[in-house]
Structure 1
């Protein structure tokens, strides 16, 4: 089975300052082209699909009906991230075992954080982002917030709390149990191979699809072969950008 794993779309109600940045039609065209090109069997949306820290789920659904209907196809699996942790229909994780007994574990990765991985931390986070949701209704606060988000991503930086070995260490703990671990959350494409008890283990991070970017991990569940996909943000999409697999 061929998996396409994408993460951190941060779909909101849109507008000039929206964090998703994609027009639904264009995003669907790109995903469909990748599915067809690689003969993808399942698309895993690995958390932070929506940005519920800023907008309500109801408002996001009303503003993005076309793309949300697209995600409800049987080919898609939706996993919960810290920004959409309140959507009960999402899975917490996905674990797949292939015919040779190798296991692939996919989760968003926010459980490595204090604010997202503990009950007390989530309580603090909920209070903070509830306040933020109110404050961004003020125009100048909204502009300042999105300007900061855009700056961080435009220069391909990541928040300092994500720019550590914390998530690699978290993945290594999971790799004691699984053969491949795929996370998101950090907005940074990564791949690492290690050996544990003479068995090869693989950690992948599938990056982000926010702010008009497209990054993803492509995985063959039988062979554990993989490829990281990164489509240039400002270039017109063409399958020629896609690496061989």
Structure 2
């Protein structure tokens, strides 16, 4: 009996490994397709590309507890979870294939994340994270930019996660001064714009700056997150405005100052 079963089990193992490799390659090819579409401005919609990647990650077969895939501007991760989930912390410093020269980021998920999905019965869950180091798939605003060009997303299988009593913590570190900017944690709200597939919104997110080099976003839901930066006039501009009594001159000076700030902060400009 053992002699008969051994070849069969070995064949099953090979088939399983082959399917896992095929699923990973198919997902990686989709990510590469997204990059080509972004660089060449192909008409394929950003929503279609991103939702396609989400679907592939949620359904991909892989061994072990997690899967990591990466291209030049996209990193995708998938984690197998269960109802004994006690929380998860992810840091770009600990993830493989992430150039350490880039500013770091981190996400911390509370144990409450799986609670609603596990209320009916125990089930296997999957958490996917998609990190973009470019804003090409999201709406641009000429009056603002995104810190480090980072957009960090997360999604749980079996339903939308919202109204968490313990927030998801998303940290963005930066290596340049934020003087002259106001920063706001935002999430991508689909169908919130008539001209694009979504828009940035601060709803459900609280912005903190624990240190001069860190912006901490505390949000009560899962989606795509970023830090919106808006250039503001320095204090002396308000003094000049009051002294001169000329709005047009001071506004022009303010715009020139902000333009100079952007040219000196390449990491802050939209991709």
Higher RCO (CA 8 Å, separation ≥ 6 residues): 1
Which structure's residues are more often strand, by fraction? 2
Normalization by structure 1: what TM-score? 0.29
